[in-house]
């Protein structure tokens, strides 16, 4: 992989930097972190601005409504938006970073035409209905059942840790469409549905997290009718479609956050120099090691994105290596932030305190670290499966 920038890429960076400098001052004030309706309006407004300027779905294929940009241009976009302090994808996370790419890769022409443009314009927000109370990261153990009734599935069950459910229009939903028996292993009887969140029978109960916001929710499904035309992929082939979704989630969805971690690290160093903590040689070594970790993660990100483009646009199992290490580095980064803050780390109003609390979830989100280690062991190292 050639890591040098071409003249076209440098021109792209220059145009983007100029647009950010002109646009960001026009943004309204950011809403309070706990104000999810306000955050939805803010994040969707930013997405609309990106869309109107030709930066929405930058790395999506053109026949899916994207810009067809190169992986390098995508990385430049992430670098420049983070460096400029532009809003993060926020409420659009599920739609833009894994539901949308999954539909682009696996959906029919009609499904792509229905769901992708509103995602790119910031008109519709998606949530993720994968995890269940008794299944956790073992997605193949899900129990939410969908029974075929004419031209619809009748769905009953429950989901948990459903990101952005309270403000979502659609849910990427995993359901069991075939019973588990000797002839049908549990991972072969699953289907991937797009479920409207305003359908009769859908109940959302927000969950307050340690950080004090209701980012997640329980979702209860009582005989919800979902049209068969909303199934992405073949019936009972949802496990394969899900692997595509998770590849995007683990492979590219956290890329922007790596850039954010580098920015936080620089801010920590400035704060430590200002409050005297920089005199602690142990802390300086700790921040230096984290800087090296972030640099390595960025190189791994470049390799993963480049490899995904080479193999057709879907990230490979290298995303599990990234997810495993990134989730640990993020926790270590905010632990270091607490050390820099000292006693102020107990003040919930201080910068980085809420981030430190939310960082605890990263070794669970998008598949636990144990799941990632199994993937690395079996699919990269070729080790035998555990019993």
**Contact between residue 241 and residue 233 where contact means Cβ atoms under 8 Å apart:** yes
Mean pLDDT of 329-351: 87
Q: Which residue among the candidates 82, 132, 172, 249 is catalytic per the annotation?
A: 249
In the annotation, is 351 catalytic?
Answer: no
Residue 153 confidence (pLDDT): 98
Span 80-137, pLDDT tens digits: 888 888 988 889 989 998 899 899 989 999 999 999 999 999 999 999 998 898 776 6
Instruction: Please name the residue that has the structure tokens 């997810």.
Output: 323
Q: What is the DSSP letter of 210?
A: T
Locate 88 and state its tokens.
Answer: 């993060």
Locate 241 and state its tokens.
Answer: 């479609």
CA distance 63 to 79: 25
Residue 247 confidence (pLDDT): 67
CA distance 251 to 321: 9
pTM of the complete model = 0.81
Helix, strand, coil content of the chain in percent (nearest 5) = 55, 15, 30
| 21 Cβ neighbours under 8 A, 6+ residues apart | 84
Report which of 149, 133, 117 is spatially closest to residue 220, judged by C-alpha positions. 133
**Contact between residue 336 and residue 264 where contact means Cβ atoms under 8 Å apart:** no
Span 184-220, pLDDT tens digits: 777 889 999 999 999 999 999 998 877 777 778 999 9
Report which of 288, 370, 382, 281 is spatially closest to residue 332, judged by C-alpha positions. 288
Please indicate whether residue 1 or residue 56 has the higher confidence score (pLDDT): 56
CA distance 338 to 346: 8
Task: Please give the biggest Cα pair distance in the chain.
Answer: 71
Mean pLDDT of 283-301: 90
Q: 71-83 and 7-23 helices cross at what angle (nearest 10)? A: 30
């Amino acid at each position: 992989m050639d890591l040098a920038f071409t003249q076209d890429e440098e021109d792209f960076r220059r145009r983007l930097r100029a647009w950010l400098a002109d646009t960001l001052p026009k943004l309204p004030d950011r809403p309070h972190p706990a104000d999810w309706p306000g955050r939805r309006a803010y994040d969707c407004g930013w997405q609309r601005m990106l869309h109107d300027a030709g930066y929405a779905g930058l790395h999506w294929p053109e026949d899916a409504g994207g810009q067809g940009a190169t992986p390098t241009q995508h990385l430049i976009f992430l670098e420049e938006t983070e460096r400029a302090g532009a809003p993060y994808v926020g409420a659009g996370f599920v739609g833009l970073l894994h539901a949308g790419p999954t539909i682009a890769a696996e959906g029919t022409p009609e499904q792509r035409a229905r769901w992708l443009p509103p995602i790119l314009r910031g008109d519709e927000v998606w949530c993720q209905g994968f995890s269940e109370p008794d299944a956790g990261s073992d997605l193949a153990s899900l129990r939410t059942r969908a029974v075929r009734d004419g031209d619809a599935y009748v769905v009953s069950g429950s989901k948990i840790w459903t990101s952005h459910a309270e403000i979502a229009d659609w849910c990427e939903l995993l359901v069991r469409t075939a019973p588990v028996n000797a002839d049908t292993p549990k991972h072969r009887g699953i289907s991937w549905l797009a479920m409207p969140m305003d359908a009769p029978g859908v109940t959302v109960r927000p969950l307050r997290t340690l950080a004090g916001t209701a980012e997640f929710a329980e979702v209860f499904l009582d005989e919800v009718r979902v049209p068969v035309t909303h199934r992405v992929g073949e019936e009972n082939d949802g496990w394969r479609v899900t692997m595509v979704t998770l590849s995007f989630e683990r492979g590219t969805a956290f890329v922007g956050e790596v850039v954010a971690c580098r920015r936080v690290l620089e801010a920590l160093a400035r704060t430590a120099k200002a409050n005297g903590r920089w005199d602690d040689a142990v802390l300086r070594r700790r921040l230096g090691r984290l800087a090296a970790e972030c640099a390595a993660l960025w190189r791994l990100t470049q390799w993963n994105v480049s490899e995904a483009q080479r193999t057709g646009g879907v990230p490979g199992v290298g995303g599990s290596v990234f997810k495993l290490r990134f989730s640990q580095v993020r926790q270590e980064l905010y632990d270091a932030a607490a050390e820099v803050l000292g006693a102020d780390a107990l003040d919930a109003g201080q910068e980085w305190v809420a981030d430190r609390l939310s960082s605890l979830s990263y070794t669970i989100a998008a598949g636990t670290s144990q799941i990632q280690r199994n993937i690395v062991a079996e699919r990269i190292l070729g080790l035998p499966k555990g019993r």
